[in-house]
Amino acid sequence: MQFHIITIFPEWFTSPLSTGLLQKAQDKAILSFCAHNLRDYAPGKHRSTDDTPYGGGWGMVMTPEPLVNAIEAVSAPLSNPRRIFLSPQGRPLSQAKTAELAASEALVLVCGRYEGVDERVLAFVDEEISIGDYIVSGGEVAALVLIDAVARLVPGVVGRKESTEDESFSTGLLEYPQYTRPEEFRGMSVPDVLLSGHHADITQWRRRQSLIRTRTRRPDLLKKASLSPEERRWLTQMDDTDT
C-alpha cells in the first residue's frame, strides 16, 4: 500500500516513518511512503503557497493552484488513489474508518497549514477526515495519526493478526487490563485468574473486564457494541449490585 503526503514540511515525516513498525513494513515492501514538497508545485519565483484571505481577517490561507497541481500530479500514476484532506471539519477518524482505508491501494494525504486551504481545493479530494475536536497547527500531525492507525491494519505490518483484533474499538469495546512481570509490584498483585492457566476462565475474565471498563469509561460505546443477550443481562445485574 502506498501513502503519498502533500505538505510544505516533507522533512517532518522523516523520523516517524523510518522508526519501528513503519520502517519494518517498508523493509518488507508492504508499505511505501513518499512526502511531496508542495513548493515544487507552486508557480513563480517565490514558490509561494499562501495568501491573505478575501474578505479580510487574520492569518493566511493556502492558495488552490499549488495544492491542486500537487494532488493531480501525485495521483496521476497511482491506481485507485483515495485523496484525503486532513481537516478539523472532516468526518472523525474511527477504527472502522481506518479498517476501510487499510483496504485501499494508495492514499494521497493533503496537509493544510495556517488558517486552512482555499475552499475550492475540496473539489479535488474524495473526503475530509478529522483526528478529533481540537485544532492542531498543521495537517502533518493528523496525517501521521491516520498513517499509523491505517498501517497497523494492513496485513503483515503487525506481527500476528490477533494482536490488532482484540484491541480497544476493534471489538466495539475497550480492551481488558493487561499485566506483565513482576507478579507483585509495590503491593499490587496480578489477578489470580491470569496466573491460573485456565484459558476459558481467562477469556471470560477478559471479556467481562472489557465490558466493565467500557461501561465505566465509555458507556456510549456499549450502545453500539455487539453483546450477547447473556452479556447484556450480566451488565444489568452488575448495575443492580452497584446501586
Q: Which residues bind ligand SAH (CB under 6 A)?
A: 86-89, 111-113, 115-117, 130-132, 134-136, 138-139, 142
The CA distances from residue 234 to 192, 222, 231, in Å, are 22, 13, 5
- Pairwise CA distance, residues 105 & 31, whole Å: 10
Measured from the CB of residue 212, what is the shortest distance to ligand SAH in angstroms? Answer: 31
- Which of 118/231 has CB closer to ligand SAH? 118
- Which of 85/176 has CB closer to ligand SAH? 85
- Which of 132/155 has CB closer to ligand SAH? 132
Cα pseudo-dihedral 189, 212, 178, 18, rounded to 10: -150
Measured from the CB of residue 137, what is the shortest distance to ligand SAH in angstroms? Answer: 6
Instruction: State which residue has the least CB distance to ligand SAH.
Output: 112
Chain Cα centroid distance, residue 44: 36
Name the burial class of residue 6, with classes exposed (0-12), middle (13-18) and buried (19+) by CB atoms within 10 angstroms of its CB.
buried
Which cell numbers in the block locate residue 7? 505538505
- Which of 25/83 has CB closer to ligand SAH? 83
Measured from the CB of residue 167, what is the shortest distance to ligand SAH in angstroms? Answer: 22
- Which of 50/158 has CB closer to ligand SAH? 50
- Pairwise CA distance, residues 5 & 55, whole Å: 30
- Pairwise CA distance, residues 105 & 70, whole Å: 19
- Which of 102/111 has CB closer to ligand SAH? 111
- Pairwise CA distance, residues 183 & 83, whole Å: 49
Measured from the CB of residue 155, what is the shortest distance to ligand SAH in angstroms? Answer: 27
Measured from the CB of residue 100, what is the shortest distance to ligand SAH in angstroms? Answer: 17
Measured from the CB of residue 104, what is the shortest distance to ligand SAH in angstroms? Answer: 18
- Pairwise CA distance, residues 7 & 4, whole Å: 10
